[in-house]
Amino acid sequence: MRLVMIGSGYVGLVSGACFADFGHDVICVDIVEEKIKALKQGIIPIFEPGLSEIVQTNMNSGRLSFSMDLASAVSEADVVFVAVGTPSRRGDGHADLAYVYAAAEEIARAAKGYTVVVTKSTVPVGTGDEVERIVRRVNPDADIDVVSNPEFLREGAAIADFKRPDRIVLGTSSERATEVMRAVYRPLYLNEAPILVCERRTSELIKYAGNAFLAMKITFINEIADLCEKVGADVQKVAKGIGLDKRIGDKFLHAGPGYGGSCFPKDTLALVKTAQDHDMSVSLIEATVSFNDKRKRAMARKVVAACDGSVRDKKIAILGLTFKPNTDDMREAPSLSIIQALQDNGAIVHAFDPEGMGAAKHYLNDVVYGESPYDIAEGADALVIVTEWDAFRALDLPRLKSVMHSAAIVDLRNIYNRVEMQKAGFRYYGVGS
Ligand code: UDX
């Protein structure tokens, strides 16, 4: 089939490359000229394990190409995916749909023959209806169905998530569009990925409800972690104890510095706004958002406590900047609030991250970037593990201790064991124990 991705960002690029890998002909379109130029040369603008190889293989086979010419790509397409950004609108937290609606207009003008237009970007309930209105207004004769098909890709594991999804959600009432979409995903349901077909609005809400639930689950265990610290319990054992209950499940129960990233903060906020627009409040999600916001800065207080009550003029070494490992994405990363709070308290912050330092420079001021964990630990008063990169899981502890000024480790991801750390001569501060 001939597929077009409008938007060659994270979602568009991963989805486009994977669809090409399944044997479809895919054109990824973007309005940013440098991005398309780079992609044509096989240069990938984001760090995602395995993506570069898939892009290269499928470009070589001729199934994947890149273009700025939306109209000509769309005119040949069976299915057009809208995978443009939907950032939080400045000021009110609503998802900004300007890019989605602009794409809808252009698609309506360019489409020829029966075309399925699919919103893959995370869009609030009712956006598909508006896209459909735009299409009918711009081109009343267009033979177009509008389908919602949310993505559930985790950064750092996006290729695996795409190829072996827990489920595929299709929001449409059109049987014709459903058949086309089943054909698009046929290679996947040969792998027995369940396909859920539902109304478009339901599909749009599934995405928000899913992300809000996961954000709430993380927030729940973070709140329990705080309680564990007060009552002398161990949150990791509590998580294990409740996670073995199949109704609860063991995923997303890792206590930490709060969730970040491009999805959870934005999507929880958008869900709160959607509810307000319908004259109700989703109080569990509101509590989640507010707890998580406060938590990031609260983590800085742990560091202050580990430094005997003050970080003024002390050197703090931050290990890990990205919102999670295996990505270079700094959006809403807990490190940003933690570092800002430490600097507000007079700390001198040094940092190291395997992939995120380039992006971090756009977000942070006055941070000294190092070349390795040992480099930034040199003369440090405390080492803070903010992101659980694999490379940080087996640090050379004697070496670390020998270079630090004061042997304090604040492990915000609980990747080390307190007893082992204490044996190695460190003062160790984890989360929730
Ligand atoms: C998420 C959803 O998982 C995905 O389905 C959706 O489509 C996009 O948003 P992503 O943002 O890439 O994916 O990351 P995810 O792995 O879900 O982690 C989100 C944040 O939660 C990270 O900051 C992570 O560190 C944090 N987290 C996750 C925890 O603090 N504890 C956990 O147990 C799990």
Determine the topology of domain 2-198 in CATH: Rossmann fold (3.40.50)
Q: Give the range among 26-30, 185-189, 427-431 with minimum mean pLDDT.
A: 185-189
pLDDT single digits (tens) 369-417: 999 999 999 999 999 999 999 999 999 999 999 999 999 999 999 999 9
Domain ranges within the chain, ordered by starting residue: 2-198, 264-429
Share of the chain above pLDDT 90, in %: 94
Average pLDDT score, the chain:
96
Residue 81 has phi, psi (to 5 degrees) of -95, 135
Distance in Å, CA 265 to ligand 1 centroid: 10
Pocket of ligand 1 (CB under 6 A): 151-155, 211, 214, 218, 252-254, 256, 259-264, 323-324
What is the best residue among 15, 166, 218, 271 to mutate for testing ligand 1's pocket, by most ligand atoms within 8 Å of CB?
218
Place of tokens 């490359």: 17
pLDDT computed for residue 104 by the predictor: 97
Residue 362 has pLDDT above 90, yes or no: yes
- The residues annotated as belonging to the active site are 263
Distance in Å, CA 153 to ligand 1 centroid: 10
Distance in Å, CA 135 to ligand 1 centroid: 34
Which tokens is 327 given?
Answer: 């990505």
Dihedral sign computed on CA atoms, order 334, 338, 344, 348: negative
* Average of per-residue pLDDT across 228-232: 97
pLDDT computed for residue 93 by the predictor: 75
Strand partners, 6: 29, 82
Confidence of residue 63 (pLDDT cuts 50, 70, 90): very high
User: Angle at Cα 23 formed by Cα 17 and Cα 24, nearest 5°?
Assistant: 70
pLDDT computed for residue 255 by the predictor: 98
> Global pTM?
0.94
Atom of ligand 1 nearest to the CA of 333: 23
pLDDT single digits (tens) 134-162: 999 999 999 999 999 999 999 999 999 99
Atom of ligand 1 nearest to the CA of 252: 33
Question: Is-same-fold flag (2-198; 264-429)?
Answer: yes
Atom of ligand 1 nearest to the CA of 388: 25
Ligand 1 atom 15: residue of nearest CA: 154
Neighbours of 429 (CB within 10 A): 20
Residue 117 has phi, psi (to 5 degrees) of -100, 125
Ligand 1 atom 25: residue of nearest CA: 324
Calpha distance 238→234 (Å, rounded) = 6
Distance in Å, CA 215 to ligand 1 centroid: 8
pLDDT computed for residue 95 by the predictor: 80
Contact 303, 384 (CB under 8 A): yes
What is the spatial order of strands in the sheet that 382-385 belongs to? 368-369, 348-352, 315-319, 382-385, 408-411, 427-429
* Average of per-residue pLDDT across 195-205: 97
What is the best residue among 10, 259, 329, 392 to mutate for testing ligand 1's pocket, by most ligand atoms within 8 Å of CB?
259
Q: Which amino acid is at 51?
A: L
Q: How far, rounded to the nearest angstrom, does the alpha carbon of residue 275 sit from its chain's CA centroid?
A: 23
Of 85 and 403, the one with more pLDDT: 403
Burial class (CB in 10 A: 0-12, 13-18, 19+), 32: middle
SS3 83: coil
Which long-range contacts link 389-398 to residues 24+ away (Cβ below 8 Å)? 389/319, 389/320, 389/325, 389/326, 389/353, 389/354, 390/325, 391/354, 392/319, 392/320, 397/421, 397/424, 397/426, 398/424
SS3 32: coil
Within 67-190, where are the H helices?
70-75, 98-110, 127-138, 158-163, 175-184, 186-189
Residue 94 has pLDDT above 90, yes or no: no
CA distances from 63 to 5, 79, 171, 274 (A): 13, 15, 27, 39
Residue 90 has pLDDT above 80, yes or no: no
Ligand 1 atom 27: residue of nearest CA: 259
* Average of per-residue pLDDT across 337-356: 98
Q: For domain 264-429, which CATH number applies: 3.20.20.70, 3.40.50.720, 2.40.50.140, 3.30.530.20? A: 3.40.50.720
Ligand 1 atom 10: residue of nearest CA: 154
Residue 191 has pLDDT above 80, yes or no: no
Calpha distance 398→417 (Å, rounded) = 15
Q: Give the range among 55-69, 187-201, 258-272, 331-345 with minimum mean pLDDT.
A: 187-201
* Average of per-residue pLDDT across 296-311: 96
Confidence of residue 74 (pLDDT cuts 50, 70, 90): very high
Calpha distance 72→76 (Å, rounded) = 7
* Average of per-residue pLDDT across 205-227: 98
pLDDT computed for residue 11 by the predictor: 94
Distance in Å, CA 195 to ligand 1 centroid: 23
* Of 346, 355, 400, residue with least CA distance to 375: 400
Residue 195 has pLDDT above 80, yes or no: yes
Q: Give 175-208 as a DSSP string.
A: HHHHHHHHHHTHHHHTTT--EEEE-HHHHHHHHH
Distance in Å, CA 154 to ligand 1 centroid: 7
Ligand 1 atom 14: residue of nearest CA: 154
pLDDT single digits (tens) 95-136: 899 999 999 999 999 999 999 999 998 899 999 999 999 999
What is the best residue among 162, 214, 268, 388 to mutate for testing ligand 1's pocket, by most ligand atoms within 8 Å of CB?
214
Looking at residue 95, the DSSP 8-state letter turns out to be B
Which tokens is 412 given?
Answer: 């915000």
pLDDT computed for residue 209 by the predictor: 97
pLDDT single digits (tens) 283-302: 999 999 999 999 999 999 99
Calpha distance 343→337 (Å, rounded) = 10
User: Angle at Cα 409 formed by Cα 405 and Cα 411, nearest 5°?
Assistant: 155
